[in-house]
Amino acid sequence: MIRVIRLVKSLKSSSKILRTTNCELKTMSNKGFTLIEIIVVIVILSIVSAITVKFVIDSLRIYTMTVNQKTLFDEGKLALERMCRDIRDAQSITSVTAGPPGSITFTRTNATGFDAGPPSPESITFRQNGNTLEKVKGGTGWPMASNVNAFTLANATNEIQLQLTLQLISGENVTLQTKVYPKNLVKHTTYKNFDRKWMEEYQ
């Protein structure tokens, strides 16, 4: 009889352990993620990733465009400065073609540092040849700027207006415009100049 009682008690304690174990297993199973929760997380991460990638791509595109425009601006500015320096020293304007493509031909006596030589009258032409801006001297063309889309000029009362447009294949473009007043033209009744006595010095 005593053995039977002990066996019953043992079975009861075993059933308690089993019930406790089943509860713990059930509690552990409640800690997982459902399929809907996983799908929602994937969708949210996909949206965030797409926004991030678009932001990075747009930033790179804007940076590239800015760098290209800066390069075109520097190239065009240097070309205009060199043309203004030479035209300012012109003793006579031979011809001006408005364009595009535009060109200007003039004579001068005082050479710049790049064109060092004896002070004799020489003919210089600035022209657009295809997509290149050239300086022609002695029958030889020297490139001054590339990617030239348009080069136009206007001559009004000894005031030379230059306009230069540069454009890349990718679409970036810049347009620069300036005016230059030749100082060595012959004496004019209304226009003030140095009557061929002006010379620019460089140190």
- Taking only the tens place, the pLDDT of each residue in 58-111 is 889 889 888 988 989 999 899 888 888 888 888 878 888 887 888 888 887 765
Question: In this predicted model, what pLDDT tens digit does every residue of 109-134 receive, in sequence order?
Answer: 765 545 555 556 788 888 888 888 99
148-155 and 160-167: which strand pairing? antiparallel
Q: Tokens at residue 39, please?
A: 């799908």
Residue 46: its pLDDT value, please?
A: 92
Which residues lie across from 164 on neighbouring strands?
Answer: 151, 176
pLDDT, position 47: 93
Which pLDDT band, with edges at 50, 70 and 90, does 57 fall under?
very high
Burial of 87 (0-12, 13-18, 19+ CB in 10 A): buried
Q: What is the pTM of this model?
A: 0.62
Rounded to a whole number, what is the largest CA-CA distance in the chain?
A: 145
* Higher-confidence position of 22 and 123: 123
Least confident of 15-24, 83-92, 168-177: 15-24
